[in-house]
Amino acid sequence: MDTTKVQYKPLQFERLPADEQLARSGAFLAQMRTRRTVRDFSNAPVPFTLIENAVATAATAPSGANQQPWTFVVVSNPAIKQQIRAAAEAEERESYAHRMSEEWLAALAHLGTDWHKPHLEDAPYLIIVFRQAYGLTTDAETGETVKVKHYYSEESVGIAVGMLLCSLHQAGLATLTHTPSPMAFLNAILNRPTNERPYVVIPVGYPADDAQVPVITKKPLGEVLVRVE
Ligand code: IYR
């Protein structure tokens, strides 16, 4: 028998006037449409509070069984950034030369990426997001470390990263979602436990004055929104 009792409290919810709903959602859309993945970063300093607020925002994300299966490692130390760059470039060099298929390279060609990752040192902060594939707790009686199954950790971390990117963008910062592959070197460099799997590396900062971005478009709404009434 399940004797667990759910404790409830009244939802705090402000019902907005319709015109304000429309104004806010339109303003948010317009702002999000200006977000671009940036590869050329200035080394100009960024207030740490903006990073902290973004991580705090990401940490409000919904997650499977509210297990919050994420760790956000924020690196500003130049020597550590240099190590991450060296390791990422070594893997990426191998990937671009041998591991990625012709089809994959062709799909990517219009973005102009290659194995060079100077942004990993130029950007003032790197946020490395780890997914906790399972939790680790200490058994109260035996003192042993026990594994706790996590549910929907991929989806949960994906949602949290989306919210992180939104926060950083609306704070006036540029980001790059970078997924070197394989990423196990991040556990070694950052000394993270084996239940934590690197999910994405996000350089954060201001764009370089001469930053360029490829000319790309997003699919029109009619292609991505299917309305069933
Ligand atoms: N991870 C590599 C390759 C790469 C793959 C995809 I799919 C991209 O959209 C961009 C890059 C890299 O970071 O260069």
Q: Residue ranges of the alpha helices (H) in the chain?
A: 18-32, 48-58, 78-94, 102-108, 119-122, 153-170, 185-190, 221-224
pTM of the model: 0.96
Q: What is the mean pLDDT of residues 38-59?
A: 98
Residue 50 C-alpha from the chain's centroid: 15
pLDDT at 3 over 90: no
Q: Alpha-carbon distance 196 to 215, whole Å?
A: 36
Nearest residue by C-alpha to atom 6 in ligand 1: 108
pLDDT band (50, 70, 90) for residue 142:
very high
Q: Give rounded-to-5 percent helix, strand, coil for the chain.
A: 40, 15, 40
Q: Strand pairing of 125-132 and 134-138?
A: unpaired
Rounded distance between C-alpha atoms, residue 142 and residue 146, angstroms:
10
Residue nearest to atom 8 of ligand 1 (CA): 108
Atom of ligand 1 nearest to the CA of 178: 13
Beta bridge pairs of residue 178: 201
From 85, 100, 108, 110, the mutation candidate for ligand 1 (largest count of ligand atoms within 8 A of CB) is 108
Per-residue pLDDT at 1 exceeds 60: no
Residue of 39, 85, 104, 113 to mutate, ligand 1, most atoms within 8 A of C-beta: 113
